[in-house]
Amino acid sequence: MASELLVSYSLGETRVAKLENGDLVEYNVERSEERNIVGNIYVGRVARVLPGMQACFVEIGLSRTGFLHVSNILDPDDQNEEFEDDEEALEGGGENGDDHAPEAPLEKYVPSPSEKDISKLVREGDSILVQVLKAPMGTKGPRLTGIISIPGRFLVYLPHSRHVGISRRIENAEERTRLKSVVEKTLPKQGGVIVRTVAEGASEKNVKDDFDYLIKLWGSIKKKHQKNSKPGVIYTDLDLSLKILRDRVTEDVDRIVVDSMELYKPMQKFIQAFLPRFKKRVELHTGTLPLFSSFGIDTILTRLMSRKVWLKSGGYIIIDENEALTAIDVNTGRYVGKRNLEDTIVQTNLEAVKEIAYQIRLRNLGGIIVLDFIDMDKPQNRDKVYQSFLEEMNKDPVKTHVLPISSLGLIEMTRKRTQESLKSKLSAPCRHCDGRGYVNSPTTIVHEIYRASVLEAKNSLETQGVLTIYCSPHIAAWISDPARHTLDLLEKEISLKVSVKIDTNLHDEDFEIFTQNS
């Protein structure tokens, strides 16, 4: 499938869009003041050990401590950690988005006899080398691992393992054997390796050069660790523009278009060093229109922030992102079909399947996702929709796990999450509703003010004073409306004169009440 990479840079913000056959399928953004820290390596200090959870919190020089589970702590007595033969699996965490456990244990955790005991591995105050598996999300700090993995172009180097694996996405048996033979010949006395998917077809020299680079890089990281004992970063992964070249450029990428000379030069240098055969595919955008506008990307991005997404038939899907999970609901909308109700429902669900898979990938939705399809009576129709969804999700490079449609018409799935969704990156909680998605009605707020005024009057020692209410202009007008008799009723109940004052700095739901002598 022919694809293009568009890289745009301005005001410290790098934006990358991937197009497949002209359609936007991936979008990433990184700002200089909030660089993605996944893959970074830190010197950490153990701040708190939680034996009941078999985990600890680690200070790494950020505003929030990181979470480190015992399964991700390197045991000095076992330097042969096992890894999954897939470089994607090394990007961190479980696939269900349960980023880490609560700060306090809910019940006593008892490790099995074969399991590590965290109390024997780390103590509070210990210095430890850690790598970020998952970036901070919401109220949660980063998730960490003490088992380091360093990705290159063709390989992922595992300093603390003798494991040699080949990405499961390389299916040709002869190629798998060839690549394993190549890396085993160059494998040093210490360390292991995972051969990445993009290594398929790579020459022995390219693989060896990548290996040499990673070993030197690990050596420099160890030296920095020996010189630094204070919590802080000692290795930063590539920025977005170069990471895209390392991880996403394959033979099906026809061209890479960049609109900034500031990025074009380092990208050309990276291509020359690691991907020379792709050199002619990198272009500097010189059009009169901005890069993303010329490809219609900005228009598509506006649609991405919408909660409702219309289908071509007239149906639509609703996407609700929450911290615990994402819920996606399918509706027939204006689509009435041509035959019977069951056919109409199936056609709507099948159309929704493609759009949902597309939106999940484009919005970078992760963790637990629940899809509420329209109920279908026939089991064969439910299976048809399920199989269609599996086919669409197989196009997604991110690891997913999808369960069959339940009797309630629901598909439950998980998608591996290492960073925030696109919505979380590009938006902030509404300052009016504080992220709830709604505000209390004026009637509800006025009733709250009424009850609070009665309570204030009862607690006050004043019997002939004035009770003053400070509130927003909208609520002040509502309270003072003569037709509602709110002030008359309040003055009668509390036996005080009531004065309503406008404070334009107050939110509709905020108010202040004072009593004083008249």
Residue 390 and residue 503 in one domain: no
Query: Quick check: 107 pLDDT over 90?
Result: no
pLDDT at 285 over 60: yes
Residue 207 has pLDDT above 60, yes or no: yes
**One domain for residues 224 and 82:** yes
| Domain co-membership, 13 together with 59 | no
Q: Can you tell me the distance from the alpha carbon of 477 to that of 446, in angstroms, rounded to the nearest whole number? A: 11
pLDDT tops 90 at residue 34: no
Residue 182 has pLDDT above 70, yes or no: yes
Do 186 and 213 have their domain in common?
yes
**432: in domain:** no
* Per-residue pLDDT, 97: 38
User: pLDDT category, 112, cuts 50, 70, 90?
Assistant: very low
| 302 pLDDT tier (thresholds 50, 70, 90) | confident
The reported pLDDT for the residue numbered 383 is 93
Residues 169 and 266 in one domain: no
User: Is 30 domain-assigned?
Assistant: yes
Confidence bin at 110 (pLDDT 50/70/90): very low
Query: What pLDDT band is residue 191 in, cutting at 50, 70 and 90?
Result: confident
Structure pTM?
0.74
Beta carbons within 8 Å of 122's beta carbon, 6+ residues apart: 46, 49, 56, 73, 128
Which tens digit of pLDDT belongs to each residue from 399-420? Answer: 899 999 988 889 999 998 877 8
3-state secondary structure of 491: helix
Domain boundary, last residue among 359, 393, 426: 426
Statement to judge: residues 362 and 488 lie in one domain = no
Chain length of the chain? 518
Q: Which of 26, 17, 23 is nearest to 363 (CA)?
A: 26
What is the predicted pLDDT for the residue at 1? 65
Same domain for 259 and 398?
A: no
Q: Give the residue-averaged pLDDT of 164-186.
A: 90
What local confidence, expressed as pLDDT, does residue 113 receive? 46
Give the sign of the dihedral formed by CA 35, CA 37, CA 42, CA 44: positive
| β-pairing verdict for 3-10 and 253-258 | parallel
Q: What is the DSSP letter of 198?
A: G
Residue 264 lies in a domain: yes
Is residue 461 one of the residues assigned to a domain?
Answer: yes
User: Which residue did the predictor score with more confidence, 455 or 425?
Assistant: 455
Query: Does residue 56 have a pLDDT over 60?
Result: yes
Is 240 within the bounds of a domain? no
**More confidently predicted of 46 and 83:** 46
More confident residue, 8 or 96: 8
The span from the CA of 135 to the CA of 99, in Å, is 9
Can you give the pLDDT at residue 201?
A: 87
Say if 434 falls within a structural domain. no
Q: Looking at the structure, tell me whether residues 286 and 146 fall in a common domain.
A: no
pLDDT score for 306: 86
Hey, is 386 helix, strand or coil? helix
- Which pLDDT score is estimated for 18? 92
| Same-domain check for residues 288 and 371 | no
Confidence at residue 5, expressed as pLDDT on a 0 to 100 scale:
95
The β-bridge partners of 371 are 328, 411
Whether 152 and 278 map to the same domain: the answer is: no
Provide the pLDDT for residue 88: 53
Domain assignment present for residue 437? The answer is: no
Residue 338 and residue 401 in one domain: yes
108 pLDDT exceeds 60? no
* pLDDT digit string, tens, across residues 237-274: 999 999 999 888 888 899 999 999 999 999 999 998 88
Total domain count, the chain: 4
User: CATH code at 504?
Assistant: 3.40.1260.20
Range of the domain at 352: 307-426
pLDDT above 80 for 85? no
Average pLDDT, the chain: 86
Domain annotation covers residue 315: yes
Last residue within a domain, chosen from 203, 235, 267? 235
Check whether residue 448 and residue 402 sit in a common domain. Answer: no
Instruction: Give the strand pairing for 66-69 and 55-59.
Output: antiparallel
Confidence of residue 335 (pLDDT cuts 50, 70, 90): low
